[in-house]
Amino acid sequence: MCEVRLAGLRDWFLTYVRSYYNEDPDIQLHMKQKEDHTLRVTAYCRQLAEHLGFSPRDAMLAELIGLFHDVGRFQQYTLYRTFDDRLSINHAQLGLQEIAGLEQLAAVLGDDREVFETAILYHNAIRLPDGLSNRQELFCKLIRDADKLDIYYVLAPYLEPPTPAGYSSCFIEDLLSGKQSDFANLKTPDDRKLVRLNWIYDVNFGWTLQRIKERGYVEDILSYLPQNSDIAAVREKLQAYIQDKTKHI
């Protein structure tokens, strides 16, 4: 891999995305949103890789993973009009199908190729599977962090005040125990906010948590939940957790 090839792959990606540009304003809006999201995630992958002291080769691999992690989203939304994998298709698997045999990726071989495909395949999984190599797990964690960091940014403008539907107590319990939540239990808009807060426990690097903290994403979500003893306890728990995980950054 080299910078020239990386530039070529960026050009391929942009050309691919723009082949999905559409006169339908809804489709076009979502194509542009995912294009912009991808480019931000790609930058975060590079920044996090450099923070972690990756070699130039591995930093470039991290950047490639960021560039291609959501390549399946464009066909997904065009066909199904949703980004919800549960209502359509697993976009990670679809993305790997889209780039299988791509000539511009021919230089990504051997272990690098396995890492590349594994990180894309599991970037949207609820949890990582057992049996990954240390290197595969590291790159999976990197893309999952970069992706979450930008999803917090993307979703922030859509926060709305609490609704009469309230929230499910199981999500409060998960947050206070540090346990990952089961998406199948989602019932209300406030449940979705609580799940977003629960993502904090699935952030792997202090670097990422520090940026989430600096940008106020957690406090913003908390401010759009009922201001009661449950949410006060969640706030205290998350603040202590983030403080502990970022104290050496």
Print the SS3 string covering 151-171. Answer: HHHHHHHHCCCCCCCCCCHHH
Q: Which is nearest to 37 in space by CA: 117, 91, 118?
A: 91
Q: Which is nearest to 206 in space by CA: 10, 48, 28?
A: 48
The pLDDT of residue 6:
82
The pLDDT of residue 3:
54
The pLDDT of residue 165:
96
- Domain residue spans in the chain? 3-155, 159-246
Q: If you average pLDDT over residues 177-206, what whole number do you get?
A: 94
At residue 154, what is the residue type? V
Report in angstroms the alpha-carbon separations of 193 from 3, 126, 204, 234.
Answer: 40, 16, 20, 12
DSSP E strands in 134-226: the ranges are none
Q: In this structure, what token pair is assigned to residue 85?
A: 């994998």
**Architecture of the domain defined by 3-155:** Orthogonal Bundle (1.10)
Backbone angles phi, psi at 118, to 5 degrees: -65, -45
* Whole-number Å distance between alpha carbons of 87 and 20: 21
pLDDT band for 180, please (50, 70, 90 cuts).
confident
pTM of the full structure? 0.94
Q: Is 247 exposed, middle or buried (0-12, 13-18, 19+ CB in 10 A)?
A: exposed
The pLDDT of residue 61:
96
CB within 8 A of 70, min separation 6: which ones?
A: 34, 37, 38, 41, 91, 95
Q: In this structure, what token pair is assigned to residue 199?
A: 């993502």
Residue 200 has pLDDT above 70, yes or no: yes
Is pLDDT larger for residue 161 or for residue 3? 161
